[in-house]
Amino acid sequence: MVFEVLHRHGVVVNRKRIKRILRKLGLEAIVLWRNTSAPHHEHTKYPYLLRDMKITRPNQVWASDIHMCELRTATAIWMT
C-alpha cells in the first residue's frame, strides 16, 4: 500500500526499498497469513473427475471458485 500511495504521488521508489525501510522501523502489515492451500490431514481428499475426460463442446463442464478476504471488521466471501 505504501508503494501504491507513493507511486500515485509521483514518487519513484522500489518495493524492496520500502520493505527494507519498514523492516528497519519495525513496522509490518496487519495481515493474517494463513496457509489455506495446505490440506488438513483429517479432511477427505476427493478425486479429480475430469482427468481423463475429453471436453469437446461448450458448457460441457463448469468450474467455480470461492475467495475469502478477512478485513478488520468483517469477512468478505466472493463466490464465482
Mean pLDDT score, 71-77:
74
DSSP 27: -
Q: Looking at residue 58, what is its pLDDT?
A: 94
Q: Looking at residue 61, what is its pLDDT?
A: 92
Residue with cell 519513484: 12
In whole angstroms, give the CA distance from residue 23 to residue 70.
Answer: 24
User: Higher model confidence: residue 71 or residue 54?
Assistant: 54
pLDDT in tens, 31-41: 666 777 778 88
**pLDDT band at residue 56, thresholds of 50, 70 and 90?**
very high
